[in-house]
Amino acid sequence: MDEPPVDIIDRHRIAFISEAPEYCDTCAGTGARVEAFVFAELPSGRSVAYCGHHGTRYLERLREIALVVVDHRHLVVA
């Protein structure tokens, strides 16, 4: 009905980005330091960050549950 445009969640909370972890949480579990490009703030107050690969994998779920989702995958340099 009056759903906002899908990309509206990418457009705000710039301050959130600078507070977010810089490395992918999932890759960190394997000991790797991979720059994060997808950031989200969960209802629990926890912030998560994911690399392009994991961000793509979790984005659908994050858009369902997260308060804020910041998708910077367009900045990924291969």
Of the candidates 42, 6, 8, the one whose C-alpha atom is nearest the C-alpha of residue 25 is 42
User: Which residue from 9, 20, 27, 70 is in contact with Zn ion, where contact means CB under 5 A?
Assistant: 27
User: Which residue from 26, 37, 39, 66 is in contact with Zn ion, where contact means CB under 5 A?
Assistant: 26
Of the candidates 43, 51, 46, the one whose C-alpha atom is nearest the C-alpha of residue 71 is 51
User: Which residue from 9, 38, 48, 51 is in contact with Zn ion, where contact means CB under 5 A?
Assistant: 51
User: Would you say 35 and 49 are in contact if contact means Cβ atoms under 8 Å apart?
Assistant: no
- Determine if 49 is a binding residue for Zn ion (CB under 5 A): no
- Determine if 40 is a binding residue for Zn ion (CB under 5 A): no
